[in-house]
Structures are given as structure tokens and as C-alpha cells.
Amino acid sequence: MEENNRKKIAVLFGGCSSEYEVSLQSAYAVITHMDTRKYEPVLIGIAKDGRWYLYQGEPDSIPADTWCREDKCIPAAVSPDKNLHGILLLKEQGIEEISLDAALPILHGKNGEDGTVQGALELAGIPLIGCNTMSSAICMDKETAHRLAKERGVKAPKSHTVSKGELNEMQLRIWGRELGYPLFVKPLRAGSSFGITRVEKAEDLQKAVEHALEYDSYVILEEMIEGFEVGCAVLGTEELVTGAVDEIELSEGFFDFTEKYTLKSSKIHVPARISPGKAEEIKETAKVIYRGLGCSCFARVDMFLTSEGEIYFNEVNTIPGFTSHSRYPSMMKAAEISFEDLLSRLLELQE
């Protein structure tokens, strides 16, 4: 394909999130595996303070977090002009426009995976590769996501949601007795297991809720499902493709942020050590959840599998980790879809 016929794809990385560093690793993998014969990557870095830049340096500086340098970055903003469907470069000599064919946000957690960035892109008329604004916001809100999944006939843990203004120790104890111990306390809309506590007894509940409130203004108390976590990678919008089901084996605690990125006391099995029939049931359940929450392009659906073989919905990651060894690409690889092929299929969803 000729140079001037390549599609301009904005890859967004960084962001105002506690998962900033993870985004840098994911984006680097995406950028270095894109088919540059067909696509021209336009690298848009979002610094920790929220400023947007067109990054013009080497990709290797992204995972090292040395990308944000004045000589390599031009301040940028999303254009409000839908006819441009692109970005504005704020140069000293004036404003320059860049039209985009699509944008692929590789941003994890709050201010990236929750619909905020997706809304800005949609307002600008930039085609989005990934879940749209509404779906992203719904999937980040654990209570709403669980409620919609239940309406589709999928089991979900029992839960109660509380805001800072509603915090009442007596009510918390009543809910704690109702849900049973141990239970989980989680920020309602935070990613990658930040602020989550496994609460073993009533005396620790208030402290766990206060800890979760450091990450969000709403907190969810959730019944613990006896079993183990399984995940399913889903690709597509109309026709859906699933990867192999994976399984998280824990030797202690729960799958928190540290475990996700160090696997200190856990293992991930791809494919999961379950029967082919149960794996198919999990894949079909993942598709029901994916469609029920309005997902598009790609997402990872996480569930629990009990010893009785029951499947419970946990959460959807609308922008899962995307390094070549992350769970999502690993599940696709086990289904004989290579990282390069996965990226090509993803980018073609907007063609």
C-alpha cells in the first residue's frame, strides 16, 4: 500500500490513571506490532497531569517512560470539528490539523477505560476502535454491569453499594451479615484491583470501606463466590470470536494489582483446566455479557466458576492489558490467533 494511502490510526497511551505505567507497556506492544504497510500510527501520549501530546520520538522511549520530552512532543487537543475528525497541534507558529481514520485508546483504568476519553473522541467524529462511551462507562460501574448481566440471565454476586455521604456503620454491619464473611469491598469504578479488600470479619468492614473510598466516591460490598476466576477474550462487534478460556490459580489472597503483574503467588493457565463442554459454556456466557453490556471491537470478560460448575459474572475489562504476554493476547494465541493477526483483525473492524 502506498505511503499516502495508509490509514492514520491514533494510538493513545499514558493517561491520568494509577495504571499509567501498564498503558505504556501495552501501547508499546501495539505500536511495534502494527502493520505499517497498511497503517500509519499517530502516537498520542497523555501525561500524568492530563496534557495531550503528539509524540514524535522513538517507540522505545514509551515503556521506559522517557517519552514526554519537549523536543519530541507537540501539545495537542481533540478537534471539535467533526468534518476534520482529528486533532489540533498547538505549535508556536500556529495551529496545525491532523485528520485521523480511527483512534485506538490503549488506556487502562479511570480516565481512560471509563468512557471519558471515548466521549471526547466520539464528539470529534473520530471512529473509535473499542467499546463506545456508554458501554465503557457501564462496564466500569460494577453495580450497573452486574444488574444488566442478571437481566440477561447470568448469575452475579449479591452486593450493596454505598457512597461517602451514606456511610453508616450500623447499615454496613447489616449488609455484612447479609452477604456473609469473607466478603469483598471494592471501589465501584476503579480498574486493576486498586482499593480492594477481602474482609474476614465485621470489625474490619468500616476500615475497608474507607480505604476503597480513597479510590472512588462509591463503594460496593460484594459476596465472595467460592470458586476460581476464569476469563474469556472476545473480539468483534457483529460476528464475535473468542479466545481460549484462561484460569487463575491462586495459592493465597486474591488477584490484586501486584499479582496481576508479578504472579508472585498465582499462575495463569491457558487454556483453563476444565472440560471442553464447560469451556464452551463460559465462552457463550462471555458473549451474552459482551452483547448485553453493549461492547464492541474487543474486551475481556472475567467470571467465576464454582465447584458445582456454576458461572458467575465478575467484570468486563474494555481495554485489557495488551502486551504480547498479557491475558487477552495469550487467550487469542491459544486459539491460534497471533498477536500480529489479532491487531490486524482489530484495526480492520473500522475499515
User: Positive or negative, the Cα torsion across 196, 200, 202, 203?
Assistant: negative
Contact (Cβ atoms closer than 8 angstroms) between residue 189 and residue 113 = no
Three-state DSSP at 136 gives: helix
| Burial of 196 (C-beta count, 10 Å sphere; 0-12/13-18/19+) | buried
pLDDT in tens, the chain (351 residues): 445 689 999 999 999 988 899 999 999 999 999 999 999 999 999 999 999 999 999 999 999 999 999 999 999 999 999 999 999 999 999 999 999 999 999 999 888 999 999 999 999 999 999 999 999 999 999 999 999 999 999 999 999 999 988 888 899 999 999 999 999 999 998 765 678 999 999 999 999 999 999 988 999 999 999 999 999 999 999 999 999 999 999 765 544 444 444 455 579 999 999 999 999 999 999 999 999 999 999 999 999 999 999 999 999 999 999 987 899 999 999 999 999 999 999 999 875
Nearest partner of 161 among 116, 123, 212, judged by Cα? 212
Contact (Cβ atoms closer than 8 angstroms) between residue 321 and residue 22 = yes
Distance CA(209)–CA(163), nearest Å, equals: 10
Tell me how far apart the 2 most distant CA atoms of the chain are, in Å: 68
Give all domains of the chain, ordered by start, each with its CATH number: 3-129 (3.40.50.20), 138-154+226-348 (3.30.470.20), 159-223 (3.30.1490.20)
Distance CA(184)–CA(223), nearest Å, equals: 6
The residues, ordered by sequence, that sit 6+ positions from 261 with a Cβ below 8 Å of its Cβ are: 22
**Phi, psi (rounded to 5 degrees) for 12:** -95, 130
Contact (Cβ atoms closer than 8 angstroms) between residue 52 and residue 89 = no
Cell numbers linked to 4: 499516502
Cell numbers linked to 286: 462471555
